[in-house]
Amino acid sequence: MQSRTLYKRFISTFLMASLIGCQSGINSEQVIKGDSIKIKVNTRGTFGNNISGVSDNNRLMLRFDKTGTGSFTNTTTTSPDFFQPGTPFEGFSVEYKLTGGSLTEKRNVNRNYNEIGTGTLTDKSGVSYENLTFDNRVIWERSGTSGSTTPFDISHDYMFNDSSSFVLINTKITALDDFEELYFGRFGDPDQGKERPGNNSFTTINTRDSQSSVTAVSTDNQFAITLATNENNSVGAGISGDSSIGLTGISSTSSWQTKGRYYLAATESSSTGDESIGLGFEFNNVSSGDTQSFYYAYCLGEDVTASRNICNNVAFTFLNTDDGDAVYSISGTTSIGGTLSTSVTTADPDGNGTISSYTWQSSSDGINWTTIGTSSTYTITSSEQGKYIRLLVSYTDGESFSESVTASSVTIGSQLHTEWLQPFAAMQNVGLNSIKKFRDLVLNKAGDCNDYGWIIDNTDFCLYSNVSNSISYVNGNGNYGGYDYANFITAVNLEKTFNDKWKAGLAYGFGTSNLDSFNFSGTTANFSSNNRHYSIFASKKVNDKFTLKGMIAGSDFDYEGNRNYSATAAESVYDADGYTSEIIGTWDIYKFIKESNSLLHLQPSLGIAFATHKQEGFSESGSGDLVTITSNESQSLLLKTGIGIKKQIPMEKGKWILVPSIDLNYEYDAYAKNNSRKIGGIVKGSSDATTFVSSENLGEHRLSGEIGADFICTENFSFNLNADYVLADGGNQYSYGGGFRLVF
């Protein structure tokens, strides 16, 4: 039984060994050749054999056949090996600095360094790999370990076609830890002149062509090799022995350097000697998991011009890799009726190529999309209101890659409904009415403080106060919504008597305004404000019959409100201010009635008043279809006339006096239909032109009747009450108020 077990173990071991032996073909040295290039890639990832020693023509590294026949027979005149003569030197290095650490260098060189370690080789000749196909191709790969001395994965992809005179190399380095600094170097010591008849020298003429290219040629200017990259940033080409390098830890006298930092920083333009050439690449702040991928090439030619032309014009044109996509954006008017189009905002790195299709899509939630158009432009319909629109663009880029990209979506603003602006236009009318009611309170009793107010300590100063509350009803119609509004105002007047003709004073008013019950075409709104008024007034008794009164005043308003429409819940907070002036003349006609032993007072009047309400611009907040309101100045111009009748009636045998009054007035608002009452607005965030909208108001013509009564109770106490009703062509209004006199 035991012997059978041992047998099974033997068989298992044998099979595993056989399998490993079969796989070893992948890991062995690989020789690939075309018509002009023949190379051997070893398991260190460099050219040639993994051993040092004297020159041996049977040991292949990088050979060039200028005849292009692929014979590689005459090594002296037609097909020299660029790195084999002398002491072979070709390889690469990785320098890294861990976060908080110091620079560490790891090298693989074909003859004497294997610090990164051996890897695996895989033949990809004639096989499409990463969108590239080459006749001759081998990939070397080496895995590292996080926390070790090689905390990175690295690979080299060597590729060229049969007709190529270059070896294109793609190196990839994947960080397994975080690096503050990362450097890569690729280098070699060209000795192609050693095999030239009459030359027999290891010396080469080395030239730094540019930041990304360096060339070495034999001293008889035959057979040149150029090492170049298509990278533009953080790359440098250099020559060993550059005395101006000045890098810490690098000997400037050494002719064979391995550090990529040396070649990155080298500045020497040319040098002749047995020196190496190389490229250096720099990457900073590389996080674990990041991969750095870059290309470079060895280009070979009969002379310097030929090798440089191969690198400049041929080697990198084979990189038909998809280097990225173009970025498209949507432009145009993002509202109903607007036309959307697209343009490239960031070019495709491989060329923008040709667009094959457009697909316009809309979505209500930004997740589920429906196709709505396939033309290069799209005109927005009402069905896209409030939705998202995006565009899918399919195109073939300049390197024939098929691409499909999506332009960032845009939000289609709602089509502005004029009724959304009407409450704001209406609130201007409310503000103008508040200013008017303040004027009325100040001027109605101006000049009469001694009769109705409190004379302060037998001085020329008198103080009185009046209160008014008005409620207005504005009728709607087919174009405008109706609404209610109220203005409550308290006015306090301080009046000074200068002489029997002149009286003047200051007035302060405060109160509130409210707009309620706006409901039109699905839009509802409610607004309120706190109001303050400031005035200077004067009264002059021109003669016994005629009195002239005037005032100027300023106002400020703090508004807030809400508006609702469908799924919209909008809020607004904004300010306004205003000013006004009025002049009015009154005639006093008295008639004594003997029968009642009373006095009848007739008082015709004629006046004019101007007011303006200046509202700031603002945007609603909340959700749904929000609007932005522009600043606006609305105006009112009132022409007013009327007649008042008062009669003094002694009551209780003269113990107190009742003064009933009736006033009939007509006012004409010349600006009621003026364009100044229109408010402008757009859907918030829209680029549409501003729309101007009016609202209904009380109208141009207003006829009012007021009844009131003064109750003169004692010498020290009296009070008054009043109520009025306004009939206008756009609605109606009623008010009530009063005041009192109390002498202390």
pTM: 0.51
Other beta carbons within 10 Å of 148: 10
CA 11 to CA 6: how far, in whole Å?
9
Name residue, tokens 């990362």: 182
Q: Are 485 and 497 in contact (CB under 8 A)?
A: no
Tokens of 128: 């499409």
pLDDT bracket for residue 199 (50, 70, 90): low
- 115-167 pLDDT, tens digit per residue, is 999 999 999 999 988 888 999 999 999 999 999 999 999 999 999 999 999 99
CA 291 to CA 295: how far, in whole Å?
13
CA 70 to CA 168: how far, in whole Å?
18
- 52-89 pLDDT, tens digit per residue, is 443 444 568 899 999 999 888 766 678 888 888 777 88
Q: Which of 408-422, 662-676, 707-721 has the lowest mean pLDDT?
A: 707-721
Residue type, position 323, single letter: D
Is the per-residue pLDDT at 631 higher than 90?
yes
More confident residue, 407 or 255: 407
581: nearest Cα among 693, 399, 438: 438
Other beta carbons within 10 Å of 71: 12
Mean pLDDT of 391-411: 87
State residue 597's pLDDT score: 63
pLDDT bracket for residue 744 (50, 70, 90): low
Residue type, position 76, single letter: T
Which residues fall within 8 angstroms of residue 161, CB to CB, at 6 or more apart? Answer: 34, 134, 135, 136, 318
Q: Is 338 helix (H, G, I), strand (E, B) or coil?
A: coil
- 541-576 pLDDT, tens digit per residue, is 999 899 999 999 999 999 999 999 988 899 999 999
More confident residue, 360 or 316: 360
Other beta carbons within 10 Å of 363: 16
Which residues fall within 8 angstroms of residue 23, CB to CB, at 6 or more apart? Answer: none
- 470-480 pLDDT, tens digit per residue, is 999 999 888 88
State residue 303's pLDDT score: 93
pLDDT bracket for residue 720 (50, 70, 90): confident
Q: Are 182 and 282 in contact (CB under 8 A)?
A: yes
Is the per-residue pLDDT at 13 higher than 50?
no
CA 428 to CA 698: how far, in whole Å?
12
Q: Are 683 and 656 in contact (CB under 8 A)?
A: no
State residue 665's pLDDT score: 93
- CA dihedral sign of residues 174, 177, 180, 183: negative
State residue 255's pLDDT score: 67
Is the per-residue pLDDT at 16 higher than 50?
no
More confident residue, 29 or 311: 311
CA–chain centroid gap for 551, Å, is 51
Mean pLDDT of 18-31: 51
pLDDT bracket for residue 3 (50, 70, 90): very low
Mean pLDDT score of the chain: 86
Mean pLDDT of 441-463: 85
Other beta carbons within 10 Å of 54: 8
Mean pLDDT of 695-705: 91
State residue 177's pLDDT score: 95
531: nearest Cα among 613, 609, 635: 613
Residue type, position 264, single letter: L
The vertex-568 CA angle with 564 and 570, nearest 5°, equals 65
Q: Which of 194-198, 577-581, 680-684 has the lowest mean pLDDT?
A: 194-198
Is the per-residue pLDDT at 6 higher than 60?
no
Is the per-residue pLDDT at 291 higher than 60?
yes
- CA dihedral sign of residues 258, 263, 267, 268: positive
pLDDT bracket for residue 742 (50, 70, 90): low
**Torsion angle (degrees, nearest 10) of CA 566, 568, 573, 579:** -40
More confident residue, 516 or 52: 516
State residue 22's pLDDT score: 36
Return the bridge partners of 679, or none: 693
Q: Are 521 and 530 in contact (CB under 8 A)?
A: no
More confident residue, 403 or 60: 403
What distance, in Å, lies between the first and last C-alpha atoms of the chain? Answer: 130
State residue 617's pLDDT score: 95
Is the per-residue pLDDT at 427 higher than 50?
yes
State residue 132's pLDDT score: 87
Is the per-residue pLDDT at 588 higher than 70?
yes
Burial of 524 (0-12, 13-18, 19+ CB in 10 A): middle
Is the per-residue pLDDT at 592 higher than 90?
no
Tokens of 351: 């060329």
The vertex-162 CA angle with 158 and 164, nearest 5°, equals 70
State residue 320's pLDDT score: 64
- Inter-CA distances, 656 with 206, 451, 743, Å: 125, 14, 16
State residue 453's pLDDT score: 76
State residue 17's pLDDT score: 37
Q: Are 498 and 529 in contact (CB under 8 A)?
A: no
Describe the chain by its helix, strand, coil percentages, rounded to 5.
Answer: 10, 55, 35
More confident residue, 738 or 442: 442
DSSP 8-state symbol, 685: T
More confident residue, 15 or 361: 361
Other beta carbons within 10 Å of 157: 22
* pLDDT above 70 coverage of the chain, percent: 89
State residue 282's pLDDT score: 95
More confident residue, 23 or 556: 556
CA 406 to CA 389: how far, in whole Å?
11
